[in-house]
A and B are shown apart, each in its own frame.
Chain A
Amino acid sequence: MTLYTKPKQYSNLREEHRSKYITPHPNHRPPDSLLEWRFPLDAQKKTQSLAVIRQEAACKSIRYYPTFLEHVWNQIRFQPITHWLLQGSLLLTAMLLALYLRRTSRGGPEMLTVCSVFIVFAGNICLSQIARLFSWHMAELEQTLYLNLRQMICIRMLEAGIANLIILVLFILIAGGVDTLGISVSLIYMAVPFLWSDILYLHMLSHLRSIFSGFRSFALGLLCGIISLLPVLWEPVYQPEYLIIWQILAALGTLLLIAEIAKLLEKINQGDTICVNE
């Protein structure tokens, strides 16, 4: 950008002004640029001023504001590799199994069961990453960080939610192709065990924190998965006349899950024993 544009009006103004006021000094060299409004500065005062600024700059500690995406990425970046391996291998097995069932054209209940069990597992693996935040006495420390425990949980929930959604969509694409049931119906069949096992998991997390550490939380996840197998033992549940029960369970489950999450966050916010090391 040019620093000193030479505006028309001003040049005119200057002309007039020169003719009027400078005439008494005919030998005075007329200023040839607008730089004339920049008279010389007092070098000493300027140096003093700059020295004060220098001092302030040296004391300044830059406050860095990470964006939300950076926070999300940081949470993903530091999850252990085993988590990703587990998640990946689970997904792979589930898909292979689903494809196998499809190949042998044993759609219907078997397919639904397989899918719902695997979604439950996937969900619990994600949730175990939330439980991990509470393990090893980390909760108390994490609660005092810039990105505190509550925000970490929200971010991990979001990650878990997205991951599960992707898995769910994959399964529905596979199952929906075979099944005579519509997509929305198979979605309900798959979502119910998933929702309820998550509720169970979160409830345990906020009430029985002491049992959470390392593999114990993983074992709990496994237990939840097994519970979700229960419908298999009683196959008629997938009959259309029971659909309404599934729907009620799904609606109830969604509400309860939201309530559980809200309760957990509120507990942390109140500084309950949940984030304090015993």
Chain B
Amino acid sequence: MPELKLDRITKHFKNKIAVDNVSLCLKNGVYGFLGANGAGKTTLLRMICGVLKPTAGEILCNGSSITKLDGDYRYMLGYLPQDFGYYPDFTARRYLEYLAACKAIPRELAKEKVQEMLCLTGLESDQRSKIKTFSGGMLRRLGIAQALLNDPEILILDEPTSGLDPKERIRFRNIISSLSKGRIIILSTHIVSDVEFIADEILLMKQGRIIEQGSIQEVTASVSGKVWEYLADPETALRLNDTFAVSNLKNEDNQVRLRLVSDTCPCEGALPVQPGLEDVYLYHFEEVSEHVEHLERRTL
């Protein structure tokens, strides 16, 4: 059972601080890193994978520095980068076989594993097609398949659901939940619904720092009493939408039910409600995550 410890990790790029003094201790379970684009999630994950070296601080796996563990650390790692790389002229099967060889999986076992992963991600029927013919969703699934090939103890997925359709997202969530025992899974996303149901712990990242950390209950408790619901006519709804952070809008007959995040009561008649993860996100980032934006456009 692995244990990852990040000790005051900082990463500077030429003119900005991407990750600022992050200390974490990760044990078994699914960790959901939530944050807007540019919050430093990808940089942090790259450092955990050993692709980038931290400017300061150290990453320890089971007590030893990951640079010292070197191959032994990478042996237990599965990584899906944000921009997933592939050789377009390889078939899906050959690509997975290549990575299996580089991940030091013995050849006989590799054959089995490749087949298993192709089934798991539903790419069986396309295994003989060249990757360049794949759609975005298929590519993402291939990426997930390669990350899982070596049955990694530490699985790091950067924006794993981008490009997946709703059905594929559900499949992905099921795969992750089925894997979550006895390993560390780190998911980074800016889509709240990706991690809402599967993460054991949520980490909110903003400007290179972890601003909130804990179980969904703990994290949502931090904004309790700051989420309101209000039934308004469409005109008022538009006005409220301009002045307050709105996490949800629903048309009800001729009126609009608004869900607002605000430190104080936004308007007379608004009722406090139980906060959800989406509200927490909105509270901290003052912008809506992708799926709400979509809702909003549809509603108004």
Contact = CB atoms under 8 A, between A and B. Distances in A.
In the complex, is A directly touching B at CB under 8 Å? yes
Interface of A: 61-66, 74, 77-78, 80, 132, 135-148, 152, 270-271, 275-277
B99 interface: yes
B86 interface: yes
A146 B51 contact: no
Contacts of A132: 87
A186 B105 CA distance: 46
Interface of A, helix, strand, loop or mixed by DSSP: loop
Contacts of A77: 101
B79 A141 contact: yes
Interface of B: 46-47, 49-53, 71, 74-75, 77, 79, 81-89, 94, 97-99, 101-106, 109, 146, 150-151
Nearest to A70: B101
Given A66-B104, A136-B88, A144 B94 contact: no
A143 B79 CA distance: 10
Given A139-B85, A271-B53, 8 more contacts: A62-B106, A135-B87, A140-B51, A143-B49, A147-B104, A270-B53, A271-B52, A277-B82
Contact of B50 (A65, A135, A271): A271
Contact of A78 (B83, B84, B98): B98
Given A63-B75, A136-B88, A143 B104 contact: no
A259 B84 CA distance: 31
Contacts of B109: 64
A276 B49 CA distance: 12
A138 B89 CA distance: 13
B87 A136 contact: yes
A5 to B, nearest CB: 39
B81 to A, nearest CB: 5
A64 B84 CA distance: 26
B81 A142 contact: no
B106 A64 contact: yes
A64 B85 contact: no
